[in-house]
């Protein structure tokens, strides 16, 4: 247990240093959510005039959606780093060391979690400046962070696992594009649940991104449905466990293929 | 406490090792190896002979289809954790993390091996010093030259003082100068630190220079084993090298030497020729006379025992460099079809 903990910290440290040395990547990941918030806000402003829209401003509605979507993509694209490590022989060198296999993925998940916390803080501050009001105080925000981290962490583990299975950059990009973007639109990230088509609403119930969006949005708006928030967080936690199990198994599959 | 390794004297033992890749490619076709502790053991073979596959299996990275490898007495497939503690690996592709600096690369490996604090710092400083990386310790490895990255690669594999070091084609792609440096370092590691080194190479001179013992691999099989000296001594005869004063057409040389008895094989490149003969000392005057009397002025002449080139040829019937090129081509093709 102690070894697992230390290996996880060592890998997190390594991933953070690596991120730190790629400043362009940091800038992009910070600017992107800001752009979403600043562009989508005005673009969909008149949505508030649709009968049945329950939020006082679109920013109020959109902020949790953009925040979760950012975490979703941050985690989801992390497999690219693993492809790079594979090509450079870094993975092979790690695999012939006593590194605990799960620590490899925990290291990535923790690094993504820290990135998500920074990104989310920026989005929340900006949304606040743009006039959003967050209910439930610290507890509400805590749930927002938690759902973002659980979702981003799951996607991170899944993405790194897929990277080890497909081993090729183009295949990973294609796979992620096919999965990530549709899931974003099959959710209530940009549109209130009661205003989206019935079939999307049905699908969105099985969409992890939607679990996180709904939990986060409900937690910081009046009339929080706590039992539903709990249910969504539970589902996200289960997803993280499943994704970690898949990722750890992908290492063995990779070793069998070489 | 005596480890299993000390009980039988072998650092690495492979028994009937077979590896069949998806698609039915038989990379290893029953390999048996015994690598004695404390010296450099060379796995020599052309591209595609299966050298890297042996290393991957012995270092616990990949699994055999059948057969087994014991490293310091532990089964690589069944007791990978024990094997990993005992080995350092420098793969064919550099395992250097280019986003970390030299010191961070070394520290990372140390931390994963449970080294901490002052012990780790001392070891890292020692290695930076030893591999001439002290000044560049804080530079990101991305900015290192090829030679520096390779040195860091080797240093990284040594942080935990392994008993066995695997070097998979350590000098491929290096400048001749850097290659010589690497050779000196490898010799130092076995002589001064008593390390067992398993080195794969497709450079004949490298195997000749460094390896105390050799296994020659060809198409997934061990075709010959022994010290380079022994392997060469088994071939009877000598090689006569002649340097001509100026370049001469191949036909002229061959017709000049046509009547000389005892020449088994003749190779010619620009103004150098190489003849495999039964008896060097007897052949030299005859060769010289034949060349001079045909108007081919000789600059220098020397006699040598057969090289590993000749050894490979006698066991496989193929020319080493041609087999090497063919193997490289085949590897590229497989990679392409995988895509």
Three-state helix/strand/coil letters over chain A: CHHHHHHHHHHHHHHHHHHHCCHHHHHHHHHHHHHHHHHHHHHCHHHHHCCCCCCCCHHHHHHHHHHHHHHHHHHHCCHHHHHHHHHCCHHHHHHCCCCCHHHHHHHHHHHHHHHHHHHHHHHHHHHHHCCCCCCCHHHHHHHHHHHHHHHHHHHHHHHHHHHHHHCCHHHHHHHHHHHHHHHHHCCCCCCCHHHCCHHHHHHHCCCHHHHHHHHHHHHCCCCCCHHHHHHHHHHHHHHHHHHHHHHHHHHHHHHHHC
Nearest residue to B140 (alpha-carbon basis) of B101, B103, B107, B108: B101
Same domain, B265 and B123: no
- Please state, in angstroms and rounded to a whole number, the distance separating the CA atoms of residues B121 and A49: 65
Verify whether the Cβ–Cβ distance B95 to A93 is below 8 Å: yes
> Do B264 and B147 reside in the same domain of the chain?
no
* Residue B312 belongs to some domain of the structure: no
Per the domain annotation, does B56 fall within a domain?
yes
> Are B205 and B290 members of one domain?
no
Q: Using CA coordinates, name the residue in chain A closest to B149.
A: A88
- Assign residue B46 the CATH number of its domain: 3.40.50.300
- Which of B52, B60, B61 should one mutate to test binding to chain A, selecting the residue with the greatest count of A CBs within 10 A? B61
Confidence (pLDDT) at B338:
53
DSSP assignment of B166-213, as one string?
EEESTTTT--HHHHHHHHHHHHHHHHHH--EEEEEES-HHHHHHH-SE
pLDDT at position B6 is: 47
Say how far apart CA B18 and CA B219 lie, in whole Å. Answer: 12
B116 and B192: one domain?
A: yes
Backbone angles phi, psi at A172, to 5 degrees: -65, -45
From B61, B97, B100, residue closest to A96, measured CB to CB: B61
Q: How far lies B8's CA from each of A207, B2, B20, B73, in Å?
A: 59, 11, 29, 9
β-strand B196-201 against B164-168: which pairing, if any? parallel
- CA neighbor of A115 nearest in space, from A70, A163, A176, A69: A70
Name every residue whose Cβ is closer than 8 Å to that of residue B189 and which is 6 or more positions away in sequence. Answer: B158, B165, B195, B197
Q: What is the CA angle B165-B185-A89, rounded to 5?
A: 50
Query: Is B79 in the same domain as B11?
Result: yes
Q: Is residue B105 part of a domain?
A: yes
Q: What are the chain B neighbours of A21 within 8 Å (beta carbons)? A: 99-100, 140
Q: CB A93 to CB B89 under 8 A?
A: yes
Please name the member of A7, A96, A99 whose beta carbon is closest to the beta carbon of B87. A96
Tally of domains in chain B:
2
- Asked if B95's CB is within 8 angstroms of A88's CB, the reply is yes
- A168 CB neighbours in chain B (<8 A) are 339
In the DSSP assignment, the letter for residue B321 is H
Residues B203 and B243 in one domain: no
ipTM topping 0.95: no
Question: Looking at residue B255, which CATH number applies to its domain?
Answer: 3.30.70.980
Question: Do B276 and B180 have their domain in common?
Answer: no
Evaluate whether residue B167 is within a structural domain: yes
Which one of B20, B83, B95 makes the best mutation probe of the A interface by having the most chain A beta carbons within 10 Å? B95
Q: By the 8 A CB rule, do B257 and B263 touch? A: yes
For A235, what's the count of Cα atoms within 13 Å in the CB-facing half-sphere? 17
DSSP H or E stretch at residue B87: strand B87-90
The full set of domain ranges for chain A reads 2-42+54-257
B113 vs A258: CB contact, 8 Å cut-off? no
- Structure confidence at residue B2 (pLDDT): 41
8 Å CB contact of A88 and B97 = yes
| Residue B334 domain flag | no
Angle at B46 between CA B45 and CA B47, to 5 degrees: 120
pLDDT tens for each residue of B3-23: 444 456 799 999 999 999 988
Distance from CA of A1 to the nearest CA of B (A): 13
CA distance B100 to chain A (A): 7
A6: chain B residues, CB-CB within 8 Å:
111, 114
A21: nearest CA partner in chain B: B99
Distance CA A10, CA A14 (A): 6
What H or E segment, with its residue span, contains residue B57?
Answer: helix B51-58
* Short-list A75, A28, A69, A45, CA closest to A243: A75
Give the count of Cβ contacts less than 8 A between chain A and B. 78
> Is B322 contained in some domain?
no
Nearest to A89 among B59, B93, B112 (CB): B93
Low-confidence ranges of chain A (pLDDT < 70): none
Answer yes or no: do B193 and B247 share one domain: no
**B111 and B162 part of one domain:** yes
B148 and B76 in a common domain: yes
pTM of the model: 0.86
- Residue B84: list chain A partners with CB under 8 A: 96-98
B37: helix, coil or strand? Answer: coil
Optimal mutation site among B97, B102, B140, B149, interface A, most CBs of chain A within 10 A = B97
Q: Is residue B264 located within the same domain as residue B210?
A: no
Rounded distance between C-alpha atoms, residue B328 and residue B169, angstroms: 14
Are A79 and B91 in contact by the 8 Å Cβ rule? The answer is: no
Q: Domain span at residue B65?
A: 4-232
Residues B12 and B135 in one domain: yes
Tens-of-pLDDT digits for all 339 residues of chain B? 444 444 567 999 999 999 999 888 899 999 999 999 999 999 999 998 999 999 999 999 999 999 999 999 999 999 999 999 999 999 988 899 999 999 999 999 999 999 999 999 999 999 999 999 999 999 999 999 988 999 999 999 999 999 999 999 998 888 888 889 899 999 999 988 889 999 999 998 899 999 999 999 999 999 999 999 998 888 878 888 898 888 888 888 888 888 888 888 787 777 778 788 888 888 899 999 999 998 889 999 988 878 888 888 778 877 788 888 888 888 887 766 554
Tell me the backbone φ, ψ of residue B197, rounded to 5 degrees: -120, 125
Maximum separation of any 2 CA atoms in chain B, in Å: 76
If DSSP codes are grouped into helix, strand and coil, which group holds residue B223? strand
**Cβ contacts (< 8 Å) between A251 and chain B: which residues?**
none
Which residues in chain A are contacts of B91 at CB distance < 8 A? 89, 92-93
Q: Which residue of B has its CA nearest to A258?
A: B62
């Amino acid at each position: 247990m102690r070894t697992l903990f230390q290996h996880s910290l060592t890998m997190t440290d390594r991933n953070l240093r690596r991120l730190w040395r790629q400043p362009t990547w940091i800038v992009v990941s910070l600017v992107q959510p800001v752009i979403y918030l600043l562009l989508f806000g005005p673009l969909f402003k008149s949505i508030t005039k649709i009968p049945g829209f329950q939020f006082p401003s679109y920013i109020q509605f959109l902020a949790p959606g953009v925040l979760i979507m950012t975490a979703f993509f941050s985690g989801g694209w992390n497999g690219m780093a693993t492809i790079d490590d594979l090509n450079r022989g870094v993975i092979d060198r790690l695999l012939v060391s006593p590194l605990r296999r799960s620590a490899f993925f925990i290291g990535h998940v923790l690094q993504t979690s820290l990135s998500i916390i920074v990104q989310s803080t920026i989005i929340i501050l900006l949304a606040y400046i743009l006039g959003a009001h967050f209910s439930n105080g610290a507890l509400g925000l805590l749930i927002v962070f938690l759902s973002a981290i659980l979702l981003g962490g799951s996607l991170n583990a899944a993405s790194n696992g897929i990277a080890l299975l497909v081993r090729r950059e183009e295949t990973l990009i294609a796979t992620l594009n096919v999965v990530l973007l549709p899931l974003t639109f099959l959710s209530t990230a940009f549109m209130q649940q009661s205003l989206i088509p019935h079939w999307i609403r049905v699908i969105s119930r099985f969409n992890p991104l939607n679990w996180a969006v709904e939990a986060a949005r409900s937690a910081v708006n009046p009339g929080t449905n706590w039992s539903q928030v709990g249910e969504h967080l539970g589902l996200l936690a289960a997803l993280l466990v499943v994704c970690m199990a898949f990722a750890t198994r992908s290492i063995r599959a990779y070793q069998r293929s070489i | 406490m005596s480890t299993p390794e000390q009980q039988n004297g072998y650092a690495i033992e492979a028994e009937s090792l077979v590896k069949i890749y998806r698609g039915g490619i038989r990379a290893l076709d029953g390999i048996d190896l015994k690598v004695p502790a404390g010296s450099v053991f060379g796995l020599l073979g052309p591209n595609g002979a299966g050298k890297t596959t042996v290393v991957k299996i012995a270092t616990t990275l990949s699994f055999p289809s059948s057969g087994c490898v014991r490293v310091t007495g532990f089964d690589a497939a069944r007791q990978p954790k024990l094997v990993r503690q005992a080995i350092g690996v420098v793969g064919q592709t550099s395992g250097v993390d280019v986003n970390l600096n030299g010191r961070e690369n070394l520290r990372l490996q140390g931390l994963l091996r449970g080294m901490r604090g002052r012990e780790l710092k001392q070891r890292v400083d020692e290695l930076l010093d030893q591999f001439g990386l002290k000044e560049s310790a804080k530079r990101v490895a991305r900015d290192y030259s090829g030679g520096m990255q390779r040195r860091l690669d080797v240093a990284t594999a040594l942080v935990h003082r392994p008993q066995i070091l695997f070097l998979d084609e350590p000098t491929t792609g290096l400048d001749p100068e850097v290659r010589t440096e690497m050779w000196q370092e490898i010799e130092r590691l076995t002589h001064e630190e008593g390390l067992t080194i398993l080195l794969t190479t497709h450079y004949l001179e490298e195997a000749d220079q460094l390896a105390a013992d050799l296994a020659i691999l060809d198409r997934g099989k061990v075709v010959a084993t022994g010290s380079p000296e022994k392997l060469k001594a088994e071939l009877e005869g000598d090689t006569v090298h002649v340097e001509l004063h100026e370049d001469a057409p191949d036909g002229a040389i061959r017709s000049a030497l046509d009547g000389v008895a005892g020449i088994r094989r003749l190779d010619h490149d620009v103004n150098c020729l190489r003849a495999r003969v039964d008896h060097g000392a007897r052949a030299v005057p005859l060769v010289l006379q034949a060349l001079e009397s045909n108007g081919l002025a000789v600059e220098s002449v020397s006699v040598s025992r057969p090289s590993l080139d000749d050894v490979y040829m006698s066991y496989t019937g193929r020319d080493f460099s041609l087999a090497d090129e063919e193997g490289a081509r085949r590897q590229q093709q497989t990679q392409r079809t995988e895509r």
